[in-house]
Amino acid sequence: MGGLAAVGALVTAALTCAPAAAVKPSPTPRTTASPSHPATKSPSPPSTPTPTPTPTPTPQVQCTPPQPVAALHTEPWAQQRLDFTQVWNLTRGNGVTVAVVDSGVDVKQVQLAGHVTSVDVTHTMTRDCVGHGTAVAGIIAAQDRRSNDLPFVGVAPGVHLVSVKFTNKDHSDGPDPNLPKAIRAATALHAKVINVSVTAPDTSELRSAIRNAQAHDAVVVAAAGNVTDQDKGTVGPAYPAAYPDVIGVGSLSPDGTIADSSNTETKVSVSAPGKAVATTWPGGYAPNEEGTSFAAAFVSGTVALVRARHPDLDYKQVKSRIEATADGSVGVGSGAGMINPVLAVNALLPGEDADSGATATGDNRPIRIAYRRPADRQTRSTALLVTGIAAGASALAVAAGVFIPMGRRRGWRPGRPTPPQEPDA
């Protein structure tokens, strides 16, 4: 018994001192997820991808400008009246960038092809779907194709023409945010002449765009606006033509009187042909356009000639020169009267010297022209006092030979001095 007791004590001690690892617990059964049920612990949901912005669709535009005529067969009256080809032996506007802020330009039109750079702030297309911009561009810079029996030419065919499209409409129905953008785009492209043949309400954005252009020495030329008989007395001044230091332009008829459609409520600087105007059109020509839009284009072309011939003049001096050399007021709404491209380019005004590129006589003596703006058309023939710098009598004789016979031949318009023969630089 004593031996059995000792053996039992040893067995008990062995069991008491065995390590815990030696006792293996029963394994926990593994949970298996069925295909149609999630596991006991749900996984993190996948991250939501960033949506890709849907691109703004290009607006659909009806592009059907009115049908043009195939060709022009006679020299337009405005071209005869302004006689700007007389100064082409001095300059055709080379080196000057002119921006046409409008409805676009037909870059395939025969007298514009290869001479237009196009910009579009509408994000539609650069094509002219209205015709208006092409008509304006042609007056400014249509190429000389008279040797091909095309009698129409632009005022300054040597310019670099930039089309800045801001609209696909042929009318304005309120403020257009694209107009100030287009003017700023023209300024950024270093345009020294910006033609705005459109009217708009006065807004801070438009004022700011014009001031920015002028701060960069751009001459802004703008249409005074058109009115109907029903509009008269109810329409106020048009912008940007009415802003300070902008060359606002009124419209004149072939007989030299203010066109009925010209907005006389807008204070203008000068006037230009704006009735029965022939010009370029998408696919051809327009023989009978009317409006201050086209009058403004004649002035822009003239400004380009002045800027090319007198590169040292700033935008305010160019404006003053255009006004000082115009033919004289014909009433309220005409400003200083019909522009005179020949004198604008060549006249030697008070305070200028003979080295400024003014017109000269056959013996290379400049003709000094002291201009006093006449009150009406009847007195404009006496507005030019021509005196010689060296000898007054001889210069007056030259002036008589230049002005009087030409005026008599033309009858209905004053004579234009013939500029000296000098190639364009």
Backbone angles phi, psi at 395, to 5 degrees: -65, -40
Residue reference for tokens 């492209």: 189
Report the pLDDT value the prediction gives residue 66, as an integer from 0 to 100: 84
Report the pLDDT value the prediction gives residue 59, as an integer from 0 to 100: 60
- Calculate the alpha carbon distances from 232 to 23, 106, 260, 358, 359 in Å: 112, 34, 10, 42, 42
E strand or H helix at 210, and its extent? helix 204-215
Report the pLDDT value the prediction gives residue 150, as an integer from 0 to 100: 94
The residues with which 164 forms a beta bridge, in sequence order, are: 101, 119
Are the C-beta atoms of 408 and 337 separated by less than 8 Å?
A: no
Task: Work out the angle at residue 129's Cα, subtended by the Cα atoms of residues 286 and 252, and round it to the nearest 5 degrees.
Answer: 40
Q: How far apart are CA 359 and CA 366, in angstroms?
A: 6
The residues with which 101 forms a beta bridge, in sequence order, are: 164, 196
- Calculate the alpha carbon distances from 74 to 66, 150, 258, 335, 412 in Å: 22, 8, 24, 30, 19
Are the C-beta atoms of 196 and 209 separated by less than 8 Å?
A: no
Q: Give Cα 409 to chain centroid, integer Å.
A: 37
Token representation of residue 359: 């017109």
Which residues are part of the catalytic machinery?
Answer: 102, 132, 293
Q: Does domain 77-346 have CATH number 3.40.50.200?
A: yes
Task: Work out the angle at residue 371's Cα, subtended by the Cα atoms of residues 365 and 377, and round it to the nearest 5 degrees.
Answer: 125
Closest CA to 268 of 330, 184, 192, 311: 330
Task: Work out the angle at residue 178's Cα, subtended by the Cα atoms of residues 101 and 334, and round it to the nearest 5 degrees.
Answer: 45
Evaluate the omega torsion of the peptide bond into residue 240 and state whether it is cis, within 30 degrees of 0.
yes
Written as tens digits, the pLDDT of the chain (425 aa) is: 444 444 344 334 443 444 444 434 444 444 444 444 343 344 555 555 665 555 555 566 778 888 888 889 999 999 999 999 999 999 999 999 999 999 999 999 999 999 999 999 999 999 999 999 999 999 999 999 999 999 999 999 999 999 999 999 887 667 899 999 999 999 999 999 999 999 999 999 999 999 999 999 999 999 999 999 888 778 899 999 999 999 999 999 999 999 999 999 999 999 999 999 999 999 999 999 999 999 999 999 999 999 999 999 999 999 999 999 999 999 999 999 999 999 999 999 987 776 655 544 443 344 455 444 443 333 333 333 333 333 343 343 334 433 323 332 333 333 344 444 444 44
Report the pLDDT value the prediction gives residue 371, as an integer from 0 to 100: 47
Q: For residue 263, which amino acid is it?
A: N
